[in-house]
Amino acid sequence: MCSTADKPALHTVVVYCGSSLGNNEAFVKAAQELGKSLLKRNISLIYGGGSWGIMGVIAKTVHEGGGNVQGIVPKFFLERDPESTLIGDTITVEDMHARKKMFCEKADAFIALPGGIGTLEEIVEMICWARLKLHTKPVGILNTLNYYGGILEWYQNALKVGFLNPCDANLFEVSDNCEQLIDALESRLTVLANST
């Protein structure tokens, strides 16, 4: 189980995102904008480590802006790519499970930018853990260019046909605007803190 902060404030956000850039500049711009929003609000970034893809874009944006960046990297990633450039502070962990556990322990909230199967797996796991009450931290999806539209449609259908309960309808926030998403996560953090 993840611990929950005593006071409702976003100090640290885990951002899940792609190790590729995608084929639309809007994805890069969204990562830069989210990084700037974190800087503006003095929110630290925790991410998967490395300097490639959108993952590298947001880490560089926060780091070069003077913000706090921490990468959590499984040791096999470093063994595969010993020349990898790391941004900010880096914690090396044994495996992916240890990485995800540490993400959850250190975060006040979670945000997914566009990414691949790893990004999807990580954000869905945090939504699942919220449903199971393994954490009480807000989860958000930055839905740039409606990237997550198909998944969101599936989620609504799962609610409609009874594979999810009505109380599962509000397990996460969605926006295509960084500032609005962070505002929603901050509001959700306060609600969650008051309900425990």
Tens digit of pLDDT per residue, the chain (196 long)? 555 445 568 999 999 999 999 999 999 999 999 999 999 999 999 999 988 999 999 999 999 999 999 999 999 877 777 666 778 899 999 999 999 999 999 999 999 999 999 999 999 999 999 999 999 999 999 999 999 999 999 999 999 999 999 999 999 999 999 999 999 999 998 887 777 6
Specify the CATH number of the domain 12-194.
Answer: 3.40.50.450
CB atoms within 10 A of CB 187: 13
Q: How far apart are CA 183 and CA 169, in angstroms?
A: 19
Q: In one letter, which amino acid is 15?
A: V
